């Protein structure tokens, strides 16, 4: 069976109408072989406007449904996701090129956030605050915000949507999702799974969760709409630079989850066997196409010559290939542009004196862009090391002083994820302190990638400052009202102000 046939079989099995993925002007390809999977009819700015109007109408009803009842919808969604896990995971592999365990892992992440959100639906609460005025009570109430526009990237074609959608739904908001134009089929399948849950739920307002297929112009229509109070946009910093100011110009709210240039520090006391495994997964996993992929490694002088040659050896032997036809751990790059970007970065690094290991195209399965992951030994942190190249390149540099290593780790524009590998308590604590890593994620003795649902996810600086997923990230999807109630017969004014009339 060709991948095209298999994809169509999965989609129809999930109840997707074949008109959704045949006969349109927008194409979808698999990075595994380059095969064209489908032709779709994209949305336009006009159809997006219509969808926004429908979402606005859905909001007036959904915001009044009690939050625990809204949680029931998400509980049903998790059930449907469990049933569809194999199919959806397979589509993630076909359309985004992930190895099977990562394709399934992405769906597991969706299930995990649903479970989290179901619990959250009974824990949406605000503070009661002591007031300075006698006979008064002050409290916070959290209210639904309105339609949430979700713009997502190709490399997590469905999980990022579910992080946003599960929280948005229990918080009382409809969603409008514009997935990456590189992964529309996985999005259509994922939407079909949610539609099943909506059908079982029964009385949700129509158009509570809508899917919009298309490129940046469709995202742009969401971004500029005053009827979409929150835009949650995941993708490159380049995209965030355009989207962020446009949302701000209309005083909308945005959650920006942008690029990373994540680093690890390997200290003299590190467990080198464990560090090797953590670095290998962090840097080569998903073919270096995670926002949290490890891209820079600072290795202490005293262990550099023992550690780096082992890493180079692991890179030379890692299995690269079509993960659906072999036991490869490194699948393809998403497309030709990604391959060219990688080669340009490697050439630039060589010009800056970098010593290159790997990075060449692996021609095994024809059609896809497969590369051997690259290590580049650098003597100083200069471009392209200071920029995110969305490919498996790991820049390695020596350090001698721990505080210098922290300064190097923080010395780039992105601020997403970071790790230190050490058994020295002082180093670990300094790394996690206010004088340590400046990233949204800072880890000790685990890699930079592979975050869990329970924690808030996001990064600082050019990563955009947004937070999604666990902890109290839900507050970003609601509006907060401060309420003061006077149950006395007097009217004492705050700050002792007197205003007798």
Burial label for 297, CB within 10 Å (0-12, 13-18, 19+), is buried
Q: Examine residue 286 and tell whether it contacts ligand NAD (CB under 6 A).
A: no
Say whether 257 is catalytic. Answer: yes
Q: Label the pairing between strands 148-151 and 175-178.
A: parallel
- Sign for the CA dihedral angle at 19, 193, 235, 90 comes to negative
Burial label for 305, CB within 10 Å (0-12, 13-18, 19+), is exposed
Least separation in angstroms between residue 379's CB and ligand NAD is 26
* Dihedral angle over CA of 460, 464, 465, 467, nearest 10: -120
Least separation in angstroms between residue 464's CB and ligand NAD is 7
Least separation in angstroms between residue 127's CB and ligand NAD is 29
Q: Examine residue 153 and tell whether it contacts ligand NAD (CB under 6 A).
A: yes
Least separation in angstroms between residue 288's CB and ligand NAD is 10
Q: Which two tokens stand for residue 473?
A: 């990230």
Q: Are 88 and 189 in contact (CB under 8 A)?
A: yes
Q: Which two tokens stand for residue 298?
A: 């600072």
Q: Examine residue 155 and tell whether it contacts ligand NAD (CB under 6 A).
A: yes
Least separation in angstroms between residue 197's CB and ligand NAD is 24
Q: Which stretch binds ligand NAD (CB under 6 A): 174-182, 188-196, 354-362, 430-438?
A: 174-182
Q: Examine residue 220 and tell whether it contacts ligand NAD (CB under 6 A).
A: yes
Q: Which stretch binds ligand NAD (CB under 6 A): 69-77, 150-158, 188-196, 306-314?
A: 150-158
Q: Distance (Å, rounded) from C-alpha 228 to C-alpha 177?
A: 12
Q: Examine residue 260 and tell whether it contacts ligand NAD (CB under 6 A).
A: yes
Q: Examine residue 151 and tell whether it contacts ligand NAD (CB under 6 A).
A: yes
Q: Are 439 and 411 in contact (CB under 8 A)?
A: no
Q: Examine residue 465 and tell whether it contacts ligand NAD (CB under 6 A).
A: no
Q: Are 42 and 52 in contact (CB under 8 A)?
A: no
* Dihedral angle over CA of 44, 47, 48, 53, nearest 10: 170
Exposure string of 422-447, with b = 16+ CB inside 10 Å and e = fewer, is beeeebbebbeeeebbbbbbbbeebb
Least separation in angstroms between residue 47's CB and ligand NAD is 16
Q: Are 62 and 172 in contact (CB under 8 A)?
A: yes
Q: Choose among 449, 179, 438: nearest CA to 291.
A: 449
Instruction: Rank residues 68 and 216 by Cβ distance to ligand NAD and give the closer one.
Output: 216
Least separation in angstroms between residue 240's CB and ligand NAD is 8
Instruction: Rank residues 179 and 436 by Cβ distance to ligand NAD and give the closer one.
Output: 179
- The residues pairing with 297 across neighbouring beta strands, listed in sequence order, are 264, 396
Q: Examine residue 95 and tell whether it contacts ligand NAD (CB under 6 A).
A: no
Q: Which stretch binds ligand NAD (CB under 6 A): 68-76, 195-203, 219-227, 278-286?
A: 219-227
- Of 463, 465, 467, 470, the one binding ligand NAD (CB under 6 A) is 463
Q: Please, which residues have CB within 8 angstroms of residue 392's CB and are 6 or more apart in sequence?
A: 283, 284, 287, 288, 289, 293, 330, 342, 371, 373, 374
Instruction: List binders of ligand NAD among 412-441 (CB under 6 A).
Output: 416
Please work out the total of residues on this chain that contact ligand NAD, with binding judged by CB under 6 A. 29
* Dihedral angle over CA of 98, 104, 108, 111, nearest 10: 110
Q: Which stretch binds ligand NAD (CB under 6 A): 46-54, 91-99, 252-260, 311-319?
A: 252-260
Q: Examine residue 259 and tell whether it contacts ligand NAD (CB under 6 A).
A: yes
- Of 21, 59, 156, 281, the one binding ligand NAD (CB under 6 A) is 156
Least separation in angstroms between residue 123's CB and ligand NAD is 24
Q: Examine residue 186 and tell whether it contacts ligand NAD (CB under 6 A).
A: no
Taking residues 224 to 243 in sequence order and writing x for each that binds ligand NAD by CB under 6 A, - otherwise, the string is ----------xxx--x--xx
Of the listed 95, 106, 257, 388, which one is catalytic? Answer: 257
- Sign for the CA dihedral angle at 16, 21, 24, 28 comes to positive
Q: Examine residue 219 and tell whether it contacts ligand NAD (CB under 6 A).
A: yes
Instruction: List binders of ligand NAD among 370-389 (CB under 6 A).
Output: 388
Q: Tell me the longest C-alpha to C-alpha distance in the chain.
A: 87
Q: Examine residue 469 and tell whether it contacts ligand NAD (CB under 6 A).
A: no
- Of 29, 62, 142, 154, the one binding ligand NAD (CB under 6 A) is 154
Least separation in angstroms between residue 94's CB and ligand NAD is 17
Q: Are 260 and 416 in contact (CB under 8 A)?
A: yes
Q: Examine residue 48 and tell whether it contacts ligand NAD (CB under 6 A).
A: no
Catalytic residues, by residue number, are 257
Interface residue list for ligand NAD (CB under 6 A): 151-156, 178, 180-181, 215-216, 219-220, 223, 234-236, 239, 242-243, 257-260, 291, 388, 390, 416, 463
């Amino acid at each position: 069976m060709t991948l095209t046939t298999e994809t169509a079989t999965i989609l129809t099995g999930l109840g997707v109408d074949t008109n959704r993925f045949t006969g349109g002007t927008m194409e979808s390809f698999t990075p595994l072989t380059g095969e064209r999977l489908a032709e779709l009819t994209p949305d336009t700015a006009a159809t997006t406007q219509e969808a926004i109007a429908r979402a606005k109408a859905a909001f007036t009803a959904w915001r009044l449904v009690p939050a625990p009842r809204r949680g029931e919808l998400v509980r049903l969604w998790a059930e449907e996701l469990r049933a569809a896990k194999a199919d959806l995971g397979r589509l993630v592999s076909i359309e985004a090129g992930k190895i099977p365990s990562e394709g399934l892992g992405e769906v597991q992440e969706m299930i995990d956030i649903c479970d989290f959100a179901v619990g959250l639906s009974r824990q949406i609460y605000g503070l009661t605050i002591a007031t300075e005025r006698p006979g008064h009570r002050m409290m916070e109430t959290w209210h639904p915000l309105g339609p949430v526009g979700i713009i997502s990237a190709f490399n997590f074609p469905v999980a990022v949507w579910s992080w946003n959608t599960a929280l948005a739904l229990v918080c009382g908001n409809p969603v409008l999702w514009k997935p990456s134009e590189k992964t529309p089929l996985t999005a259509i399948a994922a939407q079909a799974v949610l539609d099943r849950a909506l059908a079982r739920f029964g009385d949700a307002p129509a158009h509570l969760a809508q899917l919009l297929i298309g490129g940046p112009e469709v995202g742009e229509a969401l971004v500029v709409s005053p009827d979409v109070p929150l835009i949650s946009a995941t993708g490159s910093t380049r995209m965030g630079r355009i989207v962020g100011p446009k949302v701000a110009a209309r005083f909308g709210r945005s959650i920006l989850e942008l690029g990373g240039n994540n680093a690890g520090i390997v200290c003299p006391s590190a467990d080198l066997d464990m560090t090797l495994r953590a670095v290998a997964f962090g840097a080569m996993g998903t073919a270096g196409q995670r926002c949290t992929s490890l891209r820079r490694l600072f290795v202490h002088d005293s262990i550099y010559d023992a550690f780096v040659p082992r890493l180079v050896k692991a890179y030379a032997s890692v299995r690269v290939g079509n993960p659906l036809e072999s036991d490869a751990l490194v699948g393809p790059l998403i497309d030709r542009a990604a391959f060219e970007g990688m080669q340009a970065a490697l050439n630039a690094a060589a010009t800056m004196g970098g010593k290159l290991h790997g990075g060449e195209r692996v021609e095994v399965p024809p059609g896809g862009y497969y590369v051997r992951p690259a290590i580049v030994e650098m003597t100083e942190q200069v471009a392209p090391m200071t920029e995110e190249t969305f490919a498996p390149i790991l820049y390695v540099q020596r350090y001698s002083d721990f505080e210098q290593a922290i300064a190097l780790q923080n010395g780039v524009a992105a601020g997403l994820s970071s790790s230190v590998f050490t058994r020295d308590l002082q180093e670990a604590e300094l790394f996690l302190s206010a004088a340590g890593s400046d990233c949204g994620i800072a880890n000790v003795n685990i890699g930079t990638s592979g975050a869990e649902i329970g924690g808030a996810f996001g990064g600082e600086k050019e990563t955009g400052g947004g937070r999604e997923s666990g902890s109290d990230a839900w507050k970003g999807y609601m509006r907060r009202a401060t309420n003061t109630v006077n149950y006395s017969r007097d009217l004492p004014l705050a700050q002792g102000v007197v205003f007798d009339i």
